[in-house]
Amino acid sequence: MLQSMFDALKKNLALSAGFFYALVFSCCFLTACTGSTKKTQKDSVVVIQIENHKLTLKQLLKKSQSFPSQIFNQKYQSQLSEFTKKRIIKQFLENYLLKKWAKEKNIVVTSSKVQKYLKKLMRGYSDKISFKQSLYENNVSEKQLTAFVRSMLLRKEWVKLHKKLVRISKKDIALFLNKKKRHLKPVKTVVLQHLLLKTETDAEIIRSFLVKNKMSFFNLYNILPKFNPILAQRKIKVPYGASSVFDPAFKMKVGEISPIVKSSWGWHIYKVLKLQKNKKGLSKPYSFIKAILIEKKIDNLYQDWIQKQLKNKTLLVNKALLKQL
């Protein structure tokens, strides 16, 4: 009797425990499903929309971890800062506007052009493995990089078409030079006789001939072949800042012979023939400054075009969500 009562109690406890575990499992499963649904719903929330083109939260977060521009040696912040958010939104809007513009103008960036550009990019790496390693380190898929390159090429097409509208006058260059005084400075040069020898011993003997025996460089050239010099230059013109070997010459007097100077090439000796200080001139050529101004004007033109395009489009921005990120 007692044994049967004990068996019945044991059976009831087992059933109760089974029910309890089943209940706990059901609750956990429902919670997980609800959380997953909430996460999925949150991921699909639209951060920014231009006409029917949307950027969801999931896409933004994915883009924030991916850096195609890093492959081009352009540094961006990795954390989801204001800078990162603005960069992603800017790229999203520009890509849409450029694609629409290209469609209207019947401009097509072919897959062959994209592949050609990617091959050119890969030349900067020792092999395909190191290139793919760079993609992996920057969390970039080949598909993302292809899309990024296509967008770059579309912008180049835009620039090519609008570059014809840009004109640079002498007045523009004059205004630029007034603001950028560093491009206008006196250009110092020194005229030298120069010898480069293989050993320090040879350099010491040669310098002794020149200084103690007061032999001229011109007379020295007759015996110079015996020393097997690397280089013998009768007259060279060197600008200031071109080399640490020759920069001390600008503090020397005309006719003075330098001490022996060591470099990775060998042992140098030179004599100062002439010091020149030219009138103020361009430290950078005219074409260089013109290229800077064209680039600046094109960029201003492009940014103005973007702003005008956005004014004519329906743009929705989830500012509250962006502040939370």
177, 289 Cβ separation under 8 angstroms: yes
- Whether 57 and 137 map to the same domain: the answer is yes
Indicate whether 175 belongs to any domain. no
The verdict on residue 124 lying in a domain is: yes
Nearest Cα residue to 235 out of 251, 221, 215, 252: 221
Based on the fold, state whether residues 7 and 105 are members of the same structural domain.
no
Q: Looking at residue 215, what is its pLDDT? A: 83
Residue 101 maps to a domain: yes
Q: Are residues 189 and 109 in the same domain?
A: no
Model confidence over 214-232: pLDDT tens digits?
A: 888 878 888 888 888 888 8
* Whether residues 78 and 140 fall in one domain: yes
The answer to whether residues 60 and 38 belong to one domain is no
pLDDT value at residue 254: 92
Summarize pLDDT for 268-317 with one digit per residue, the tens: 999 999 988 765 454 455 677 778 888 888 988 999 999 988 888 888 88
Query: Residue 15's pLDDT is what?
Result: 42
Same domain for 116 and 69, yes or no, is yes
Q: Quick: pLDDT tens for 121-170.
A: 887 676 788 788 878 877 888 888 888 889 889 999 998 888 888 888 87
Query: Quick one: CA dihedral 108, 113, 118, 120, positive or negative?
Result: negative
Most confident residue range from 32-41, 186-195, 246-255: 246-255
For residues 108 and 31, membership in a common domain is answered with no
pLDDT tens digits along 73-132: 444 444 457 777 888 888 889 889 999 999 999 999 999 999 998 888 887 676 788 788
38 and 114 both lie in a single domain: no
* Confidence check: pLDDT of 261 > 80: yes
Other CB atoms within a 10 A radius of the CB of residue 251 amount to 9
Q: What is the CATH number of the domain that holds 264?
A: 3.10.50.40
Q: Note whether 109 and 138 are same-domain residues.
A: yes
Residue 170 forms part of a structural domain = no
User: Residue 269: which domain range?
Assistant: 184-282
Question: Burial code of 23-32, b = ≥16 C-beta within 10 A, e = fewer?
Answer: eeeeeeeeee
- Cα separation, 178 vs 183, in Å, equals 9
Identify whether 325 is part of a domain: no
- Please report whether residue 195 resides in a domain: yes
Q: Do 25 and 53 fall into the same domain?
A: no
Residue 7 lies in a domain: yes
- State pTM to two decimals: 0.51
Co-location of 55 and 118 in the same domain: yes
In this predicted structure, the answer to whether residue 9 has a pLDDT above a threshold of 50 is no
- What's the number of domains the chain is made of? 3
Assess if residue 131 is contained within a domain.
yes
Same domain for 124 and 86: yes
